[in-house]
Amino acid sequence: MQGIRPGRDVGVGEAEGERLSDVWRRLLCCAVVLVVAGCGQAIVGQPTEIVRSPDSTVPPPLTQPALSYESFLARSCDVLTREQLASIGIIANPGRPTTYPLGPACRWEADKSTDTSIAVTLLANGAGLGPIYKSRESGYFAEITIGGYPAVNGDNVKPVGRTTPVGMCFTTVGIAPLLAYQVQAASSPRHPDYEQPCKASDRVAAWVLEKLKTGT
């Protein structure tokens, strides 16, 4: 449910490209786990943390108008604009649509393997944020909001020696009681996003939310 094979840049060795390919293979294997285990965060511009019971296994109630991505199910790559993608180093890649059991997705490969690659999955066949909350102990889990909508930042691996994931992050946003979408970001150790990958996935999640609000 993810990915992109990161591109190669002049001067970037094969080892770097292979490492990033391994990263996206890992993403592909754990996206489904995360949908049943944990992810999310953000607000348009800046994420907002939610104060709730530390062990809550139920998502917070939706306080914003319910949204739909029905019009994007057959064109998942349209959830982001070329201008938005260019601002994060994705210029040449138009996006590769694919379909997973949980719903359609699009993957964008960064022009340089030292940049951050992105994938967006519309979890049309999931159950919103519910499964993630029930499996919150399986990896990194942080409640937040994106544009006022409940969200979770996550990774299927608990951080070791730090409080946030490194290299990759999943941001899952609930837009209706049983609907959510997920953004995955994978960064090279040479990129600033590597130390705080959730900032990258949050930023893209906010862009997707704004697109869904327009419905076009």
- For 24, the domain range is 14-214
129 DSSP 8-state letter: B
Average pLDDT (54-64) is 87
**CA gap 195, 205 in Å, rounded:** 18
Structure tokens at 176: 């209706």
Is 154 inside a domain boundary? yes
How do 96-100 and 48-49 pair as beta strands? unpaired
**pLDDT tens digits for range 171-181:** 999 999 999 99
Average pLDDT (77-90) is 94
Chain center to CA of 99 = 16
pLDDT: is 33 or 86 the higher one?
Answer: 86
CA nearest to 172, candidates 108, 94, 114, 119: 119
Is 3 inside a domain boundary? no
Is 137 inside a domain boundary? yes
Is 4 inside a domain boundary? no
Dihedral of alpha carbons 147, 78, 140, 192, sign: negative
pLDDT more than 70, % of the chain: 75
pLDDT confidence band for 82 (50 / 70 / 90) = very high
Is 92 inside a domain boundary? yes
Has residue 52 got a pLDDT over 60? no
Structure tokens at 36: 């049943």
**CA gap 46, 77 in Å, rounded:** 24
Q: Report the run of H or E that residue 113 belongs to, with start and end.
A: none
Is 5 inside a domain boundary? no
pLDDT at 42: 36
How many independent structural domains does the chain possess? 1
Is 24 inside a domain boundary? yes
Has residue 105 got a pLDDT over 60? yes
Has residue 138 got a pLDDT over 80? yes
pLDDT at 57: 87
Structure tokens at 41: 């965060």
Could you tell me the CA-to-CA distances from 13 to 21, 194, 199 in Å, in that order? Answer: 13, 18, 27
Is 153 inside a domain boundary? yes
